[in-house]
């Protein structure tokens, strides 16, 4: 039994990272209506930015974190302006392909600059682990969970309570109508990408504090899995993303421990397929009819 | 438009007819003609001058992509050896003296790229082949090299099939041999009776070692209490480690690369596990990627080469001067491979591929990865060396 | 009359290119490096043209094309490894088995997946590609991570005629599917699903048909790949491989078979020219991918063309 609980804790620690990434995914998808394939790679950029700040520029940790967040926010806005904005009226296929292109571009730039060999990175979070009845939860996991929870609450409040948030909801409902209501659609979408990228930066920072190592492809798989989490929770739904991330982490951990390690990825992706085919709106999402 | 097309068609017919007629003349040797011609020109050029000439060693390995560091190391190690030999006056083969040249092509560690890379080397004319660095690429290229009959030595391709043909040799241990050696060491020297294994199920190297390790360890009476798999790219090993934690394992065997070992040892410490590790030669370099050296303290792994060993100081110094980096085992493998080729040339007294291959079983080379001889199957005979991490340093074990 | 001309041009192109390859090979004008490229070029043409059917004509992004390729490669290779037969019937059967197996999986995956559209379809095909890779890795008869080796090289450059015929069949079949009444109808309304259904076109049924045909030829290409390289591993057919095929399709022009063929030839030969700069190559691909879409889709090209045409008209007017 103790072992099962320990495995669930393991699931919680990966799940909390998925949840944090999924928040950014769901936000961008919910409002801009596109899968930002590059989201995972913005996490990678955030991680490398922190590394550059801490290890190469010897900045204080708070400044390095700020640097990482700013770099990601600027990158997110730039990518949106250059690669996605001109395609607002193009078919979704075109946007998807450029998103894949951006993802590859970022990965290969990182590969050229930092090489494929993993770079070790000492965690900047010094929180002691907590032990309850012989079961240990690491400090980083606790911080990640708390950060995800805080991000979720702030994001929900922001979207529901502020003017910019209502603008985002309006754009998500109907771009044309939002424009007619005097909402600056381009600025709203820029803001969405900036916020999504800030979340990605935070995820990147927590990710390398958890795994203590950087490589150019570090964001790719977590990015895709976080997308699965966002779909599982109901895409566009902020609390759903958090729930989906944690459920996915638990599923993955249980699958690895008690079914088959080698098939755990297949099981995770199987979850995606099943959810999309059986309940495309996810756990918490509302079903939407396609408009003619 | 029509005119142009019909002209083209006529031209094509004429061409294909001439092609057919020339094809029937040379029907038998046409398929090998290109290969033989290219090989010959290099040799002719070499034999043409009385003083010898240039002996070109082709190299194949990844210079780009995820596995780039292995190929680059082999290339640089080989280059150090080539420069040393040339500076000392080249290789004496019978009456002639040959200068060495290394022509290294990027195979991206991919099974299809390696074939065109190999063929481009053959086009440019090579006398012997060092490579391929990675097992998969090596397995793909031996089919071709055996048809060409060229001497091929892989510095680091450890899959069993890499030495399948008469012309193919290897410098490193095979995966199964590593597994067996590790199991012997674990049971006989470390006295482990309950062992856990974590291996990469998506990697032939890791899987190959694991299978031999488990078989040998069980034959020796040890119990494998947990056999956990992961796949390439995994960074979270907590689940596997937690499963191992629930057993009474005394030792964890990790036949994998240092990147994986870094995550595994780190997370084992996070989970407050205090079980010693034993690893395969892929662990070399692990001190460069861990953030906390105490996580790997006491770990033992197989390694043919230890840069801090005084016996290899000259090589390490030359390498550091040239590349501003400490050589790893791949660099050492590349360095030794070039010396093996040199020894084969001297022994054969000829640079004909067949003579070189025949000479391989008659030579002994004292290299930086130890003293080595080769048997007719292409396998090396050399002693296993273990390295232990003591006080955050690699330390040779007797 | 117009149709006849089309056929003549096609036949000519086929005969000419075959004669050219034969001539170059027989005369020994191709060095070994370029000879070794012949089959990979053929394989990439088949992959690109078959992906183009799904992505270019149906307008659905499939990110799991390498998965179908791997199924074909494994099925064909397993057949050759276990059934002793002379080279020619063996490779032909291996190709058919590879294609049919991939097509069966294409059908099983396509039926549920094609109910989805756009983003979701893309991500689910990606998921299936990864699932196929994981399963190949976990099965014992596929030899797990080590994959299959010692596959007879029945489709290497010495057997270029077989591969050439396979490429020709792929291109002709797919061109005909596109040109068929249903094909044109689907193309013309691919962006408006509901409109198409309402005028009585079975979009779903045609989509599944196209998806299965695409999978079939990807499978055949996989079988050829396996019998050219002689060794296959699950990791060979990863997400990156799917993206490389996509790059060929996009650079060749989505919906253009001719473009796919030309892009496949160039992008297969290019790495040989840029050997040693593979990191750069992927970087260039990604930039080319973004630039290509931006130029084609953002209205930039229309503006340029407009200016060009108006300039031409003015000149004509003078």
Q: DSSP string covering C88-152, please?
A: HHHHHHHHHHHHHHHHHHHHHHHHHHTTS-HHHHHHHHHHHHHHHHHHHHH-TTTTGGG-B----
Which pLDDT value is given to residue C181?
A: 79
Least confident among A89-98, A282-291, C81-90, C150-159: A282-291
Closest among A137, A86, C230 to B138, alpha carbons compared: C230
C269 within some domain: no
B228 within some domain: yes
pLDDT at C75 over 60: yes
Instruction: Give the pLDDT mean for C87-96.
Output: 94
Burial classification of residue A121, based on how many CB atoms lie within 10 Å of its CB (0-12 exposed, 13-18 middle, 19 or more buried):
buried
Which residue's entry shows tokens 């048809």? B147
Q: Which secondary structure element, helix H or strand E, spans residue A231, and what is its range?
A: helix A220-233
Closest among A223, A227, A221, A217 to A106, alpha carbons compared: A217
Least confident among A16-20, C153-157, C181-185: C181-185
Nearest to A136 among B235, B236, B272 (CB): B272
Whether residue B207 and residue C12 make contact (CB cut-off 8 A), yes or no, is: no
User: What are the pLDDT digits (tens) for C230-273?
Assistant: 999 998 898 889 988 999 999 998 889 999 999 999 999 888 87
A95 within some domain: yes
Residue numbers of the domain that contains C182: 36-241
Residue-level length of chain C: 318
Helix C239-252, helix A92-114: angle, nearest 10 = 120
Residue numbers of the domain that contains B287: 176-303
- Inter-residue contact C38 to C21 (CB < 8 Å): yes
Together in a domain, C66 and C7: no
Instruction: Give the pLDDT mean for A223-227.
Output: 90
Sign of CA pseudo-dihedral B386, B389, B393, B395: negative
The encoded tokens of residue B332 equal 């050492």
Whether residue B202 and residue A117 make contact (CB cut-off 8 A), yes or no, is: no
Closest among B102, B111, B175 to B144, alpha carbons compared: B111
Together in a domain, C20 and C49: no
Give A138's DSSP letter.
-
- Inter-residue contact C26 to B20 (CB < 8 Å): yes
Least confident among A194-203, B24-33, B96-105, C24-33: B24-33
Instruction: Give the pLDDT mean for B29-57.
Output: 53
Closest among C185, C37, C212 to C110, alpha carbons compared: C212
Residue numbers of the domain that contains A75: 19-125+136-219
Together in a domain, C24 and C90: no
pLDDT at A41 over 90: yes
- Inter-residue contact A158 to A164 (CB < 8 Å): yes
- Alpha carbon distance C192, C195 (integer Å): 5
User: What are the pLDDT digits (tens) for C303-318?
Assistant: 777 777 776 556 555 4
Together in a domain, B315 and B297: no
- Inter-residue contact C124 to A272 (CB < 8 Å): yes
Which pLDDT value is given to residue C276?
A: 63
- Alpha carbon distance C87, C159 (integer Å): 10
Neighbours, chain C (3 or more CB pairs < 8 A): A, B
C228 within some domain: yes
- Inter-residue contact B135 to B155 (CB < 8 Å): no
B355 within some domain: yes
Together in a domain, C120 and C168: yes
Q: Name the band, by pLDDT with cuts 50, 70 and 90, for residue B43.
A: very low
Together in a domain, C141 and C49: yes
Which pLDDT value is given to residue C69?
A: 97
pLDDT at B3 over 70: no
Could you give the ipTM of this predicted complex?
0.87
Which pLDDT value is given to residue C131?
A: 93
C293 compared with B34, residue with greater pLDDT? C293
The total number of structural domains in chain C stands at 2
- Inter-residue contact C138 to B201 (CB < 8 Å): yes
**Chain B touched by C4 (CB under 8 Å):** no
The encoded tokens of residue C248 equal 């060929």
Closest among C94, C40, C46 to C72, alpha carbons compared: C94
**In chain C, alpha helices (H):** 2-26, 32-35, 38-52, 65-82, 87-113, 118-138, 160-179, 181-188, 193-198, 203-229, 239-252, 257-273, 278-297, 300-317
- Alpha carbon distance A150, A11 (integer Å): 20
Together in a domain, B83 and B104: yes
pLDDT at B19 over 80: no
C130 within some domain: yes
Closest among C229, A150, A235 to B142, alpha carbons compared: C229
Closest among B130, B173, B133, B141 to B157, alpha carbons compared: B133
Q: What is the percent of chain B with per-residue pLDDT over 90, rounded to a whole number?
A: 64
C52 compared with B23, residue with greater pLDDT? C52
Which pLDDT value is given to residue B142?
A: 93
Interface test with A, best of B240, B244, B270 (most A CBs within 10 A): B270
pLDDT at B14 over 50: no
Which pLDDT value is given to residue C318?
A: 47
Together in a domain, C173 and C107: yes
Whether residue B65 and residue A116 make contact (CB cut-off 8 A), yes or no, is: yes
Q: Name the band, by pLDDT with cuts 50, 70 and 90, for residue B24.
A: very low
Give B167's DSSP letter.
T
Nearest to A98 among C115, C137, C294 (CB): C294
pLDDT at A289 over 90: no
pTM summary value: 0.87
Closest among A86, B117, A51, A110 to C286, alpha carbons compared: A110
B133 compared with B24, residue with greater pLDDT? B133
Chain A nearest-CA distance from C127, in A, is 5
Other C-beta atoms within 10 Å of A185: how many? 15
The Cβ-side half-sphere exposure at A202, using a 13 Å CA radius, reads 24
- Alpha carbon distance C64, C51 (integer Å): 10
Q: DSSP string covering C211-224, please?
A: HHHHHHHHHHHHHH
Residue-level length of chain A: 292
164-203 in chain A: CB under 8 A from chain C: none
Instruction: Give the pLDDT mean for B343-370.
Output: 93
User: What are the pLDDT digits (tens) for A97-110?
Assistant: 899 999 999 999 99
Q: Can you tell me whether residue A59 is helix, strand or coil?
A: coil
Nearest CA in chain A to C243: A100
B58 within some domain: yes
Which pLDDT value is given to residue B271?
A: 86
Ramachandran quadrant class, C315 (left: phi over 0; alpha: psi -120 to 50; beta: rest): alpha
Which pLDDT value is given to residue B12?
A: 46
Phi–psi pair at B53, nearest 5 degrees: 160, -145
Together in a domain, B267 and B324: no
Which pLDDT value is given to residue A287?
A: 56
Closest among B141, B202, B143, B203 to B175, alpha carbons compared: B203
B13 within some domain: no
C218 within some domain: yes
Whether residue A276 and residue C120 make contact (CB cut-off 8 A), yes or no, is: yes
- Alpha carbon distance C50, C175 (integer Å): 10
Whether residue C35 and residue B119 make contact (CB cut-off 8 A), yes or no, is: yes
- Inter-residue contact A206 to A121 (CB < 8 Å): no
C25 within some domain: yes
Nearest CA in chain C to A92: C118
A116 compared with A198, residue with greater pLDDT? A198
Together in a domain, B98 and B53: yes
A202 within some domain: yes
Together in a domain, C14 and C44: no
Q: Can you tell me whether residue A282 is helix, strand or coil?
A: coil
Percent helix, strand, coil in chain B, to 5, is 50, 20, 30
Q: Which residues pair with B268 in a beta bridge?
A: none
Q: b/e for C226-257, b at 16 or more Cβ within 10 A?
A: bbbbbbbbbbbbbbbbbbbbbbbbbbbbbbeb
Q: How far is CA C196 from CA C1, C119, C179, in A?
A: 31, 20, 17
Together in a domain, C69 and C195: yes
User: What are the pLDDT digits (tens) for C111-133?
Assistant: 988 888 778 888 899 999 999 99
Least confident among A166-170, C249-253, C279-283: C279-283
Least confident among A256-270, C45-59, C145-159, C275-289: C275-289
pLDDT at A89 over 90: no
Least confident among A25-39, B155-169, C208-222: A25-39
Q: Name the band, by pLDDT with cuts 50, 70 and 90, for residue C296.
A: confident
Q: Name the band, by pLDDT with cuts 50, 70 and 90, for residue C189.
A: low
Together in a domain, B135 and B232: no
Nearest to B33 among C20, C28, C231 (CB): C28
Pairing between β-strand B96-106 and β-strand B223-230 as defined by DSSP bridges: unpaired
**Chain A touched by B284 (CB under 8 Å):** no
C265 within some domain: no
B246 compared with C186, residue with greater pLDDT? B246
Q: Which secondary structure element, helix H or strand E, spans residue A109, and what is its range?
A: helix A92-114
Which pLDDT value is given to residue C190?
A: 65
A4 within some domain: no
Whether residue B204 and residue C27 make contact (CB cut-off 8 A), yes or no, is: no
Together in a domain, C220 and C147: yes
Residue B241's CATH number: 3.40.50.2300
- Inter-residue contact C107 to A252 (CB < 8 Å): no
Interface test with C, best of B17, B21, B104, B136 (most C CBs within 10 A): B136
Together in a domain, C153 and C186: yes
pLDDT at A111 over 70: yes
pLDDT at A290 over 70: no
Whether residue B8 and residue C146 make contact (CB cut-off 8 A), yes or no, is: no
The total number of structural domains in chain A stands at 1
pLDDT at B249 over 50: yes
Chain C nearest-CA distance from B313, in A, is 31
User: What are the pLDDT digits (tens) for B78-123?
Assistant: 999 999 999 999 999 988 999 999 999 998 888 888 999 999 999 9
> What angle is formed at CA B98 by the lines to CA B96 and CA B102, rounded to 5 degrees?
165
Whether residue B116 and residue C272 make contact (CB cut-off 8 A), yes or no, is: yes
Q: Name the band, by pLDDT with cuts 50, 70 and 90, for residue B66.
A: confident
The encoded tokens of residue B10 equal 């006529």
The total number of structural domains in chain B stands at 2
Q: What is the percent of chain C with per-residue pLDDT over 70, rounded to a whole number?
A: 90
Ramachandran quadrant class, A232 (left: phi over 0; alpha: psi -120 to 50; beta: rest): alpha
pLDDT at A88 over 90: no
A192 within some domain: yes
Phi–psi pair at C292, nearest 5 degrees: -60, -50
Together in a domain, B182 and B269: yes
C262 within some domain: no
Whether residue C137 and residue B201 make contact (CB cut-off 8 A), yes or no, is: yes
Together in a domain, B280 and B195: yes
C94 within some domain: yes
Together in a domain, C16 and C67: no
Together in a domain, C175 and C75: yes
B27 within some domain: no
Mean pLDDT of chain A: 89
- Alpha carbon distance B118, C35 (integer Å): 12
Q: Which secondary structure element, helix H or strand E, spans residue A274, and what is its range?
A: helix A264-278
Closest among A184, A263, A268 to A232, alpha carbons compared: A268
The encoded tokens of residue A258 equal 């008690």
User: What are the pLDDT digits (tens) for B187-220?
Assistant: 999 999 999 999 998 888 899 999 999 999 999 9
The encoded tokens of residue C188 equal 């013309």
B12 within some domain: no
Whether residue B240 and residue A117 make contact (CB cut-off 8 A), yes or no, is: no
Burial classification of residue A151, based on how many CB atoms lie within 10 Å of its CB (0-12 exposed, 13-18 middle, 19 or more buried):
buried
């Amino acid at each position: 039994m103790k072992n099962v609980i320990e495995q669930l804790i393991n699931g919680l620690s990966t799940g909390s990272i998925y949840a944090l990434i999924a928040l950014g995914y769901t936000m961008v998808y919910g409002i801009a209506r596109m899968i930002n394939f590059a989201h995972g790679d913005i996490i990678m950029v955030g991680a490398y930015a922190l590394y550059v700040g801490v290890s190469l520029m010897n900045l204080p940790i708070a400044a390095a974190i700020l640097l990482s967040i700013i770099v990601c926010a600027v990158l997110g806005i730039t990518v949106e302006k250059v690669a996605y904005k001109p395609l607002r009226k193009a078919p979704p296929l075109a946007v998807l392909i450029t998103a894949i292109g951006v993802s590859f571009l970022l990965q290969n730039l990182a590969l050229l600059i930092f090489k494929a060999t993993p770079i070790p990175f000492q965690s900047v979070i010094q929180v002691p682990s907590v032990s309850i009845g012989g079961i240990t939860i690491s400090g980083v996991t606790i911080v990640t969970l708390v950060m995800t929870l805080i991000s979720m609450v702030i994001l929900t409040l922001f979207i529901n309570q502020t003017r910019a948030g209502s603008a985002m909801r309006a754009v998500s409902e109907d771009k044309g109508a939002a424009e007619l209501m005097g909402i600056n659609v381009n600025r709203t979408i820029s803001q969405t990408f900036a916020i999504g990228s800030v979340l990605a930066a935070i995820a990147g920072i927590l990710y390398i504090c958890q795994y203590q190592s950087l490589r150019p492809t570090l964001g790719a798989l977590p990015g895709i899995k976080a997308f699965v989490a966002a779909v599982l929770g109901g895409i566009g739904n902020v609390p759903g993303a958090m729930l989906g991330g944690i459920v996915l982490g638990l599923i993955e951990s249980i699958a690895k421990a008690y079914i088959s390690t080698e098939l755990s990825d297949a099981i995770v992706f199987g979850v995606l397929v099943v959810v999309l085919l059986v309940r495309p709106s996810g756990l918490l999402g509302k079903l939407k009819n396609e408009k003619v | 438009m029509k005119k142009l097309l019909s002209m083209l068609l006529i031209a094509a017919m004429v061409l294909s007819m001439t092609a057919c007629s020339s094809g029937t003349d040379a029907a038998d040797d046409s398929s090998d003609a290109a290969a033989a011609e290219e090989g010959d020109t290099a040799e002719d050029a070499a034999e043409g001058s009385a003083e010898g000439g240039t002996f070109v060693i082709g190299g194949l390995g990844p210079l780009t992509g995820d596995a780039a560091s292995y190929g680059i190391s082999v290339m640089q190690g080989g280059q150090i050896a080539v420069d040393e030999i040339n500076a000392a006056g080249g290789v004496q083969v019978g009456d002639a003296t040959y200068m060495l040249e290394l022509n290294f092509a990027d195979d991206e560690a991919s099974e299809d790229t390696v074939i065109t890379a190999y063929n481009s080397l053959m086009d440019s004319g090579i006398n012997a082949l060092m490579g391929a660095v990675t097992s998969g690429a090596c397995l793909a290229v031996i089919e071709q090299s055996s048809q060409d009959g060229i001497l091929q030595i892989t510095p680091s391709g450890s899959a069993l099939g890499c030495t399948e043909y008469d012309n193919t040799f290897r410098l490193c241990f095979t995966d199964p041999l590593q597994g067996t050696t590790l199991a012997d060491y674990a049971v006989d020297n470390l006295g482990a009776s309950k062992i856990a294994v974590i291996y990469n199920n998506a990697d032939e190297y890791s899987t190959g070692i694991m299978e031999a390790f488990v078989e040998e360890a069980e034959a020796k009476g040890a119990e494998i209490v947990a056999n956990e798999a992961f796949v390439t790219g995994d960074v979270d090993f907590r689940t596997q480690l937690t499963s191992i934690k629930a057993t009474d394992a005394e030792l964890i065997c990790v036949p994998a690369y240092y990147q994986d070992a870094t995550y595994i040892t780190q997370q084992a410490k996070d989970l407050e596990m205090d079980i010693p590790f034993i690893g395969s030669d892929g662990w070399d370099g692990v001190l460069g990627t861990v953030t906390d050296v105490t996580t790997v303290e006491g770990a033992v792994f197989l390694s043919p080469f230890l840069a801090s060993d005084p016996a290899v100081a000259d090589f390490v110094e030359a390498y550091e001067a040239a590349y501003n980096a400490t050589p790893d085992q791949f660099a050492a493998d590349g360095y030794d491979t070039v010396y093996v080729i040199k020894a084969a040339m001297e022994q054969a007294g000829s640079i004909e591929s067949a003579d070189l291959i025949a000479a391989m079983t008659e030579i002994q080379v004292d290299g930086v990865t130890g003293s080595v001889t080769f048997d007719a199957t292409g396998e090396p005979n050399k002693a296993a060396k273990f390295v232990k991490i003591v006080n955050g340093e690699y330390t040779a074990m007797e | 009359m117009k149709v006849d001309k089309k056929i003549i041009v096609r036949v000519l192109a086929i005969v000419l290119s075959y004669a050219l390859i034969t001539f170059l090979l027989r005369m020994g004008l191709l060095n070994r490096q370029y000879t070794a490229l012949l089959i990979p070029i053929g394989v990439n043409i088949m992959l690109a043209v078959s992906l183009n059917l799904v992505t270019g004509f149906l307008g659905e992004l499939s990110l799991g094309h390498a998965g179908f390729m791997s199924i074909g490669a494994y099925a064909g290779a397993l057949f050759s490894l276990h059934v002793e037969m002379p080279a020619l019937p063996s490779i032909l059967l291996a190709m058919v088995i590879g294609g049919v197996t991939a097509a069966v999986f294409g059908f099983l995956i396509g039926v549920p997946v094609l109910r989805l559209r756009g983003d979701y379809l893309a991500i689910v095909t990606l998921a299936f590609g990864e699932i196929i890779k994981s399963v190949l890795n976990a099965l014992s008869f596929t030899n797990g991570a080590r994959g299959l080796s010692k596959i007879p090289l029945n489709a290497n450059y010495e057997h270029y005629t077989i591969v050439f015929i396979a490429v020709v069949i792929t291109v002709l079949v797919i061109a005909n599917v596109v040109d068929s009444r249903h094909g044109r109808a689907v193309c013309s309304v691919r962006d408006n699903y509901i409109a198409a259904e309402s005028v009585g076109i079975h979009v779903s049924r045609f989509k599944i048909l196209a998806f299965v045909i695409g999978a079939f030829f990807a499978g055949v290409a996989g079988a050829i790949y396996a019998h050219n390289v002689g060794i296959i591993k699950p990791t060979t057919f990863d997400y990156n491989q799917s993206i490389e095929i996509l790059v060929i399709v996009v650079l060749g022009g989505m919906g253009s078979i001719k473009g796919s063929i030309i892009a496949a030839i160039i992008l297969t030969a290019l790495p040989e020219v840029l050997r040693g700069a593979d990191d750069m190559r992927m970087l260039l691909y990604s930039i080319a991918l973004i630039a290509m879409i931006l130029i084609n889709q953002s209205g930039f090209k229309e503006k340029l063309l407009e200016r060009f045409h108006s300039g031409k008209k003015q000149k004509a007017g003078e």
